[in-house]
Amino acid sequence: MLSKKSQYAFKALAYLTEKYQQGPVLISEISTKKRVPLKFLENILLELKKADILESKKGKGGGYYLKKDPSQVKVAAIVRIVNGPIAMLPCVSLNFYKRCDNCDETACGLHDIMIKVRDATLNVLETKTLIDLLPMK
Amino acid sequence: MLSKKSQYAFKALAYLTEKYQQGPVLISEISTKKRVPLKFLENILLELKKADILESKKGKGGGYYLKKDPSQVKVAAIVRIVNGPIAMLPCVSLNFYKRCDNCDETACGLHDIMIKVRDATLNVLETKTLIDLLPMK
DNA sequence: AAACAGTCCACATAGTTGGTAGGATAGGCT
DNA sequence: AGCCTATCCTACCAACTATGTGGACTGTTT
C-alpha cells in the first residue's frame, strides 16, 4: 500500500499540475486546499525538489512549481521517490535490487511470479503521468 | 513490498506443496529445510490454518499439510492473508476497501490509475497457484 | 531593514515488523 | 492412566518506520 506521505505527495502534485506555468505556489496554499498537514508537506515537497521533480523560489512571490512539463513526469518515478520500490520483492526490483537470502533466483517460482507482477504494474505506472492525476473533463 | 513473514509463508507453502499427499510435515522440519525461524513459522502456519489453507494434526506423527490441492490455491489468496491488501490504495481495494478522506473517487485521477494497477496485478496473482511456486523441471 | 517563504535539524509519538518465551491443550501410544 | 509429542495460544520485546511538530536558519524581495 502507498504510505500517507505518498498520497499527500500525489495530492500536492495534482495541485501543482493544475497550476502549471502560473508561477510559484505557496506550501501553505497547497496545505489548505488539499488538506495536508503543513509541516509534513514541507518535508515531502523538499524531497521532491531534491529528486528533481520540483523547483522552488524563496521570499515574496516564492513557492513551489513543477520543474518539467507534467506530461513528462511518470507516476512510477514519483512512487519510487516517495514510497520506495514498486516491486513486491527486492530480488525482482529494477531500481532497488537486492539478492534474497537462501533463495536461488533461477529456481524460485515466487521470483518468476513477482517479475510478472512487476512488469504488469510498471506497464501502467510508466505510461501514466502527472496529467493523469487530474480528473477528466 | 512483501513482508518477511509473507516470504516465509511462501517458502513454507512451497515445501508443503512438494510434500503434498505425503502426510503431515513437522514445523521443525520446514523450519530447518527452509531456514525460517521456528517460533515465527509457528505463528505463520497457524494463521494459514485459521484461514483454511492448511490443516494440522497434533501429537506423534502430526504436523501441517495442505488442506486443498495446491493447484486450487491462488497466490492472491495467500498474499491477502499474510500480507494484507494487494491494491496500492484502500479506496481501490476489493477485499479491504476503505473510502479515502477528502477525495472524491469519481474525480480522482490517482484512483483510476490505481484501479488499473490493481487489475494488472490481480491478473497475475489470481491465475498463479501454489504449484507455480515450485521451480520448473 | 523588515517581511516573506523555503530549508534544515531535531524531536515526539504511535504503530508495525520480526522474533522469542513459556505454558496450555490435545492426540497417540503403551 | 500416564507419558510423549506436537500444535495452540498468550504475552512480551526490541528495532524500525510512519506520521507528524517545533524552532531556528537562509535566502529574496521590497
Check CB contact under 8 Å for A14 and B102: no
Q: Which residue of A has its CA nearest to B84?
A: A1
What cell does A134 get? Answer: 487530474
Distance to chain A for B35, nearest Cα, Å:
8
pLDDT mean across residues, chain A: 95
Task: For CA atoms B96, A122, B103, A51, give the dihedral sign.
Answer: positive
Q: How far is residue B4's CA from residue B82's CA, in Å, rounded to a whole number?
A: 10
A26 sits within 7 Å of strand D by its CB: no
For range A127-132, the mean pLDDT: 98
Look at residue A137 in the predicted model and tell me its pLDDT: 58
- Is some CB atom of chain A closer than 8 A to the CB atom of B100? yes
For range A15-24, the mean pLDDT: 97
For range A91-116, the mean pLDDT: 88
Residue A94 has pLDDT above 70, yes or no: yes
Residue B106 has pLDDT above 80, yes or no: no
Residue A49 has pLDDT above 70, yes or no: yes
What cell does B24 get? Answer: 503431515
Q: Which residues contact A68 (CB under 8 A, 6 or more apart)?
A: A53
- Is some CB atom of chain A closer than 8 A to the CB atom of B91? no
Distance to chain B for A72, nearest Cα, Å:
16
Question: How far apart, in Å, are the Cα atoms of B7 and each of A57, A114, A128, B124, B136?
Answer: 45, 12, 30, 17, 19
Look at residue B137 in the predicted model and tell me its pLDDT: 58
The lowest-confidence range among A21-35, A64-78, A87-101, B52-66 is A87-101
Domains of chain B and any CATH numbers: 4-66 (1.10.10.10), 70-133 (no CATH)
- Is some CB atom of chain A closer than 8 A to the CB atom of B27? no
For range B80-105, the mean pLDDT: 91
Long-range contacts of A53-62 (CB under 8 A, 24+ apart): A53/A13, A53/A77, A53/A78, A53/A81, A54/A16, A56/A24, A57/A24, A61/A23, A61/A24, A62/A24, A62/A26
Residue A115 has pLDDT above 80, yes or no: yes
Look at residue A50 in the predicted model and tell me its pLDDT: 97
- Is some CB atom of chain B closer than 8 A to the CB atom of A101? yes
- Answer whether A3's CB lies under 8 Å from A79's CB: no
Nucleotides of C under 7 A from a protein CB: 3-9, 17-22, 25-29
